[in-house]
Structure 1
């Protein structure tokens, strides 16, 4: 997936500032308009070597809290977005904190009935949860198509940034 210049700047900023004591290996830095999510591998020497991945992640969360908070404060000031953290230990992934941002939508009755069916069937606790479930499902099932769409949009953003009518000297 192609990323925007702002996303690349934010990713580089975190890579340069997050020390190996907090995360080892490559960082995953995901950016949207409200939030930056940083996820990395729990260092091998972090915690008890006999502990389960879940226990290692929990210990890492406590051990790295002060360092992560200091980095997040700087990033939130610079980039104007909340910073959320998570970790990987083997195949286990956990988000420590993350935003749940409300999104308004207008749905016609057939769509509302679909959400209500998911609620009544116990798939979701509310219409909001049902809609989030649907979005996750599309993300999982259509990931290749979404990646292609994201790359195409990056090209559109790049072309728009070169628009000669937006330049100050074009007036």
Structure 2
């Protein structure tokens, strides 16, 4: 998908390769926009200028991004979300909010209810999302290593017996 997008995306959109994040449901495509010229000196002014440039990119590329997203959905069966980075500002445009079934025992539900009662979250669903984000922040290095290991497992699995060119004919 990364190679296909590298060839499919207009060359003037981003300054380099896009950052791709994919799960079973969605692909997030985030690219770096060309730098501001001139760069505002004040932090607040620079942040406002970065947000403005990202908003302009979002509006001016909307129709073409929708078309590319439809192609990705047809090809890989996943929804596409877009985002852009500029300087220290990163914004992600509409992403999916996918329901996830989970079974929790009373102690775990009490944790979620405490977060709701304390006003940290508006619902159990939001509290659970907050907990997952917090765990992700504090274990990012470990999760990165785990993702790398899974990528290697997929590579080895694809090279294994029955994965060659005649594999489809043998299974038929």
Q: TM-score, normalised by structure 1?
A: 0.83
Residue 27 of structure 1: how far off its partner (Å): 0.7
Selected match of 2:93 from 93, 96, 104: 96
SS at match of 2:154: helix
Which residue of 2 is the match for residue 34 of structure 1? 25
Aligned residues: 161
Name stretches of at least 5 consecutive residues in structure 2 with no aligned partner: 41-47
**Contact 1:86–1:94 at 8 Å: present in 2 too?**
yes
For 1:107 and 1:140, locate their aligned partners in 2 and report how far apart those are by CA, in whole Å.
22
Q: Give secondary structure in 1 for the equivalent of 2:17.
A: strand
Q: Which has the higher contact order (CA 8 A, sep 6+)?
A: 1
- Kindly state the Cα deviation for residue 148 of structure 1 after the two structures are TM-superposed: 1.3
Distance in 1 of aligned mates of 2:159 and 2:39: 53
Cα deviation code 1:82-138 (max 9, x no counterpart): 111111111111111110111000000000000111111111111001110111111
Alignment partners' CA distance in 2, 1:35 and 1:165: 29
Aligned-residue CA RMSD in angstroms?
Answer: 2.4
User: Is the alpha carbon distance of 1:148 and 1:45 closer, same or farther for their aligned partners in structure 2, counting shifts above 3 Å?
Assistant: closer
Rounded Cα–Cα distance in structure 1 between residues aligned with 2:73 and 2:90: 24
- In 2, the alpha carbon distance for the partners of 1:97 and 1:109 equals 34
User: Residue 6 of structure 2 aligns with which residue?
Assistant: 15
Segments of 4+ in structure 1 off by > 4 A?
48-51, 165-170
Match of 2:140 among 143, 147, 162: 143
Which stretches in structure 1 are left out of the alignment for 5+ residues? 1-9
Contact 2:35–2:87 (8 Å) recurs in 1:
no
SS of residue paired to 1:86: strand
> Are 1:56 and 2:53 an aligned pair?
yes
1:24-44 superposed Cα distances (whole Å, 9 cap, x missing partner): 222111111111110111234
Q: Distance in 2 between matches of 1:132 and 1:156?
A: 28
- Describe the SS at the equivalent of 1:52: helix
